[in-house]
A and B are shown apart, each in its own frame.
Chain A
Amino acid sequence: MSAGLFLAGLSLNGVSVGYGGRPVLSGLDLPAVAPGSVVALLGANGAGKSTLLKAMAGLGGATGRPAGQIVLNGQDLVGMTLEQRVHAVGYLPQALPQGSSLVAYEAVLSAVRAVRPDTPRDHVEASIERVFDTLGLRPLALRRLRELSGGQRQMIGLAQVLVRNPRLLLLDEPTSALDLRWQLTVLETVRRIADAERSICVIAIHDINLALRFCDHVVVLGHGRVLASGPPTHALDPDVLRHAYGIEARVEQCSRGFRLVLADRALPDAGRAATPFQ
């Protein structure tokens, strides 16, 4: 294995994040994920999916700087300032505001200008042109964001992240407020971008079956740590699902070859789910 190959990709080494001294996640390890991968972060509400994404994006805030190493293509993100990190990492928050009177083009333009005010104009225009074409958003360019549907706004949010061409994309529940068609549209787009640009995409997501279908790697968080991690074909089993979500579930193979999770019932004793997973 050459040094270049060894360095490329994303890995977590002993990452801990907490609020005011109370750890939310402790000692997370993720073996290197190759460029072009889409990683699904699964776990119950409060398992720390958003917290981990924010820590990776450098949006510590209340949590402060995480302990451990988040290594992207050989560089540790933890030690970087926000300004350094912004060139490598793009982050799409869970809730985009509804009421903005910006037109879509301006939203994407501001995403470039706010980060790099001195980028030459033709360069900026070319990258915006490219991202609107890639995402098929041309017809929306001059529409106000508040006139758009939730799915369309999410695509513009994606455009704001992609226009800077980051090596690592962090998407916090990009599909949670969308109808089925837009859920597929957004995830198909993410898949396509990761394949084409060889960027790594980490998605916090609630829909396990969408995760199994679109992602190369699944990480299940629970009780402050990684409960399971691996390719979609292996990472999930009924045991993991019981501990992560407190549900009784089956993992079956569908006619197209994907794994499907069928949730049968919520386990009555929620307290059981909180006991440490061995």
Chain B
Amino acid sequence: MSRAQADTADTGAGAAPLARLYGRFVWSRLAIIGVLVAALLVSVLFDVATGPSPLSVADIVTGLLDRSALPRGQAVILWDLRLPFAAMAVLVGAALGLAGAEMQTVLNNPLASPFTLGVSAAATLGASLVIVMDLSVPGIGATYLIPAGAFVFAVGSVMVIQMLARSFGATTDTVVLFGIAMLFAMNALLWLVQYVASTDALQQMVFWTMGSLGRSTWDKVAVVAAVLGVCLPLSMRKVWAMTALRGGEDQAKSFGIPVETLRLRVLLRVSILAAAAVAFVGTIGFIGLVGPHIARLALGEDHRFYLPGSALAGALLLSLASIASKNLIPGLILPVGIVTALVGIPLFMTLILTQGRKL
């Protein structure tokens, strides 16, 4: 077709097989993923090193290899405080990044994220109710009851949105609108709960809501890791269907993809990921929204790269935010939820403005 060629001859691709050209292109993407992984490792190292009592890189490496090689105090700081905090930042960031990416694809909306569609708000309401009612359930420790409340509400909110969407045969745009309505409803209820709460409970709630890595312990890290460990492989099994969905719902259906079933499963997975993340560190907005955008700018929307890239970008963002939370005000560790947006927005704007010109 000479016309199409004439229109595009300036971009010139030679006579080499397309598969080989594309192969090189894939390598460049893998290289970007490699850079993200390296940046994440460096960030985690800094995160572990930073704090009221500084640890040197040498101390960290020594302590990681052999706990008993460090003085007892330093070993406790490294293994019981810094490492679980840093690991939690990475896991929660990855969970939110992955959840946001999948949500944006199945709802075909770049503004979708667990935060903007009320999943995080629902989790916060669930946690607040547990705090204010001072609930106790035999068999579940107090430290897990608040996360459990968050979890039940987050999954519940997605189920409600899905049920509404199903019974009205809603389009993806309507699902997004339901989500935004959910956000406002949850926030209103949250304010109501806060209004009637006792001063003690209110303080606990506000602190919880801000999002903090300070509650991280190894067993909580293990729970989030397990959730991510189950969800990420499940997501990766559907990468082709998800990539095809970027071509529109009708086209995806014409490829034989059961789009409704796929969307339901993805949204359930997203609610579990978001709930696990929010349940242990509180509300952290922004990452579920921006992680996917960074991945899209850097890696495109082939979900083989986009989904892991989004998880990595989310992890990197939260890890950087964790470092910043310890450095912004000397001697004080700010709740990471406050810092995330403050650190993330300049980074995000830079990316949009520099990459935007290329697109």
Residues of A within 8 A of B (CB): 54, 57-59, 61-62, 82-83, 85-86, 89-93, 95-97, 99-103, 105-107, 109-111, 113-115, 117, 125, 128-129, 132, 135-144, 146-147, 149, 151-152, 155, 157, 160, 181, 185, 189
**What chain A residues lie within 8 Å of B256 (beta carbons)?**
82-83, 85-86, 114-115
A79→B217 CA distance, assembly (Å):
56
CB pair B246–A146 under 8 Å, yes or no, is no
State whether B359 touches A146 (Cβ < 8 A).
yes
A95 to B251, CA, bound (A): 10
A155-B4, A185-B3 known; A125 vs B253 contact (CB < 8 Å): no
29 A–B contact pairs at CB < 8 A?
A: A57-B253, A82-B253, A93-B254, A97-B108, A97-B246, A100-B247, A101-B301, A103-B25, A105-B25, A110-B246, A110-B302, A114-B241, A114-B256, A114-B257, A115-B255, A117-B240, A125-B19, A132-B18, A136-B3, A139-B4, A139-B8, A140-B8, A140-B11, A141-B22, A144-B359, A149-B7, A155-B1, A157-B247, A185-B4
Q: Please state if B250 and A185 are interface contacts (CB–CB under 8 Å).
A: no
Decide yes or no: A91 and B251 within 8 Å by CB, A137-B4, A152-B7, A185-B4 being known contacts: yes
Q: In the complex the two chains form, is B247's CB within 8 Å of A143's CB?
A: no
A residues within 8 A CB of B3? 136, 181, 185
B300–A106 touching, CB < 8 Å:
yes
> 0/1 per residue, B120-136, Cβ < 8 Å to A?
00000000000000000
User: B1-38 interface mask toward A, CB cutoff 8 Å, 1 = contact, 0 = none?
Assistant: 11111011101110001110110010000000000000
Cα(A219)–Cα(B256), bound, Å: 27
Assuming A86-B256, A114-B241, is B250 touching A59 (CB within 8 A)?
yes
- Give the docked Cα–Cα distance between A96 and B108 (Å): 13
Contact A86–B255 (Cβ < 8 Å): yes
A100 to B17, CA, bound (A): 24
Asked if A100 and B250 sit within 8 Å, CB to CB, the answer is: no
The interface size bin for chain B is 35 or more
**Closest chain A CB from B301 CB (angstroms):** 4
Distance in Å from the Cβ of B21 to the closest Cβ of chain A?
6
Closest 9 CB pairs of A and B: A136-B1, A86-B256, A91-B254, A114-B244, A125-B19, A93-B250, A139-B8, A110-B243, A113-B240
CA distance A188 to B223 in the complex (A): 58
Compute how far the CA of A107 lies from the CA of B18 in the bound complex, rounded to whole angstroms.
14
Residues of B within 8 A of A109 (CB): 22
**A139-B18 Cα distance, complex, nearest whole Å:** 10
Contacts of A82 in B (CB 8 A): 253, 256, 258
Give chain B residues whose Cβ lies under 8 Å from the Cβ of A185: 1, 3-4
Judge whether B296 and A101 touch: CB under 8 Å.
Answer: yes
**Interface presence of B138 (CB below 8 A):** no
Task: State whether the Cβ of B169 lies closer than 8 Å to any Cβ in chain A.
Answer: yes
Q: Mark B223-243, 1 if CB is under 8 A from A, else 0.
A: 000000000000000001101
Please indicate the chain A residues that have their CB under 8 angstroms from the CB of B1 in the complex. 135-137, 155, 185, 189
Shortest CB–CB separation between residue B10 and chain A, in angstroms?
8
B335 CB to closest chain A CB, in angstroms? Answer: 34
CB neighbours (8 Å) of B247 from chain A are 96-97, 100, 102, 107, 110-111, 157, 160
